[in-house]
Amino acid sequence: MKDGFIRTAAITPEIKVADVAYNLNECIRLTKEACEGGASIIVFPELVLTGYTCQDLFFQKELIDECGRAVADFARQTKDTEAIIFIGVCMTLNDKLYNVAAVLNKGELIGLVPKRNLPNYSEFYEQRHFTSGNKSPILVDCFGFKDVPFGSNLMFKPNNTFMHENQAKDITVAAEICEDLWVADPPSTAHAKNGADIIVNLSAGNELVTKNDYRRSLVSSTSARLICAYVYACAGNGESTQDLVFGGHDLICENGTVLAESELFKTGVIYADIDVQRLLHDRRRMNTWETGTVDKIKYETVIKDPGVLAGDREFYIIRNYDTTLKDLEVKRKFSSRPFVPDAEDMRSKRCNQILTIQAMGLKKRLDTIGCKTALVGLSGGLDSTLALIVMAKAFDLAGIDRTGIISVTMPCFGTTDRTYNNACNLAKTMGTTLMEINIADSVKAHFRDIGQDEKTHDITYENSQARERTQVLMDLSNKMNGLVVGTGDMSELALGWATYNGDHMSMYGVNASVPKTLVRHLVAAYARDESVSKETAAILQDVLNTPVSPELLPPVDGVISQKTEDIVGPYELHDFFLYYMLRWGFTPVKIYRLACMAFEGIYDGATILKWEKIFYRRFFSQQFKRSCLPDGPKVGSVALSPRGDWRMPSDAVGKLWQKELENIG
């Protein structure tokens, strides 16, 4: 699949203990089903061809030999399958029995990964039957195949000659088996450090009360810790229930997120489309990510000179396999509002946490400078309302009376009665000190000074108002020994939708890392708080229902005439572009593709492309405003502070990004 996606499948067949022929047929049937579903990586459970619960039957030559014949038969019947397949089997080597993952591709056995950590406690007595496998691989002949690498230090990479441009070319897959994951130093740690970005696990964990919760947490947290994808296939129905029950709990996780999960005690196939580009981006940007130093030897090199395996050093064998990744429609879902949790309970919890982070940031600044007065320009719009809410919480946390909050409303040419009244009433009901300063005369005097015609409603007309408001606030702060709190949000900063040294400037910007799509939810969450009066909640609701506008142009018939989103585009689109550009480093083409999926039925492709082009043009041209931002608290994984998250030259050229968008047909 293009744009870094690859479809994976975890499979739990319904088996019969020690009935190898039956199990083989089930595995072949489900392999074909997974391939028809577009899977390029297929993972079966541990010892699936025999059944995990054979106990002392593993000592029987008949069972061992039949398993070997089944592996060869499985290879023959899947010779036209381009997927890489991991299937759990038992095998003998040097008179020892091993629990291994047989790795197959296009009818060839390309690797054997033995289990390293064998449990020998409670209900599991694997050490009674099996021998722990080695790390560094050796070459063995088995199941009718020659020179098969055997060892846990094996990694598998697609042969790039079989792949198309813009596909997930950097895929590297490694394997571990069940208990290997549950130990203090699992093999997957070394695998990931040495280049594996997808780890598969062939497992046979039994079910106990709440064990599925722990397993889900373990697999997802491992994928987060290793910045990898983790495909976990577990034994299920058909295993012996003499003493245990196996639930077939399959999981596919990516960097801490559960992409797919099977229902307990249900057999079959689950799929997930893993984004390898996303994983590699996170590894690149995290300088704490430790790269392994173990030697990597290509399989072809070993075949030419087996002597390279001599010695006691640890090493990996890299085995390429043949595949052509299919150009499929991506199955995973992408939220149209990535900054906003979909679930209401999670959204409420997130909003309360963000408000607290903002308030604690401001409280610390007030404490540091010994300030008990703070000023905000209150317009009756969303951003200044959120800033006021944060100030109120900060003052409450600091034990300072809210009358120390000076809510300054500064009506001018574009102010409507609706926003004016909301600003005044909100300031009063929240217990702050309201100050009204009409700036119209000051702005007109300024127009006369610079020779600006009042009837010319150009950018000078608009920005003069914004800068006058900032001057008023700054001078008042000197007079009152107070702190000017900024109201601008991250979406405005990304687009440069702010007047330089106007609303762009403050002494502490509490909203600087809050995207516009989240501002609305933060205000709504505060309005629902039980401590908020009914009068305040009603005003906040009307603020939420007011169109977003800078109100710098005269209203028409008393109604807002200047709507921001009519000019710069929908903020929900811009926030989507911003998130996937900054957080994951996606290309414009990939972001466009994801946006078309996320906003299907809301915006057509032409509309999305139009605003994405504007986003990139404005993002590059407006960096100079972000290069001199005031201090402000970071609240999420994306921020634009020039002192931390986003350091970009103000004169950088965006031609590469624009050119890619121009090529979208």
Residues annotated as catalytic (active site), given as ranges: 46, 115, 178
15's tokens: 């088996």
360's tokens: 């604690």
CA 415 – CA 404 distance, rounded (Å): 25
Tell me which amino acid residue 297 is: I
Backbone dihedral region for residue 336 (phi beyond 0: left; psi -120 to 50: alpha; all else: beta): alpha
For residues 87 and 72, is the Cβ–Cβ distance under 8 A? no
**Sign of the C-alpha dihedral computed for residues 6, 178, 180 and 310 taken in this order:** negative
**Sign of the C-alpha dihedral computed for residues 203, 204, 205 and 207 taken in this order:** positive
Closest CA to 239 of 206, 278, 268: 206
76's tokens: 């023959």
What are the residues whose beta carbons fall under 8 Å from the beta carbon of 204, sequence distance 6 or more? 45, 46, 47, 52, 53, 88, 178, 234, 235, 239, 246
For residues 352 and 462, is the Cβ–Cβ distance under 8 A? no
CA 468 – CA 233 distance, rounded (Å): 64
Q: How far is CA 623 from the centre of its chain?
A: 25
Q: Which helix (H) or strand (E) holds 436?
A: strand 433-436
Concatenate the DSSP letters of all residues of 449-507 into one string.
Answer: HHT--TT--SHHHHHHHHHHHHHHHHHHHHHHT-EEEE---HHHHHHT-S-TTTTT--S
Tell me which amino acid residue 516 is: K
Closest CA to 373 of 362, 381, 389: 362
Burial 561-595 (b: 16+ CB within 10 A, else e): ebebbeebbbbbbbbbbbbbbbbbebbbbbbbbbb
Question: Exposed, middle or buried by CB within 10 Å (0-12, 13-18, 19+), for 210?
Answer: exposed
Concatenate the DSSP letters of all residues of 140-160 into one string.
Answer: EEETTEEEEEESS-EEEEE-G
455's tokens: 């009837």
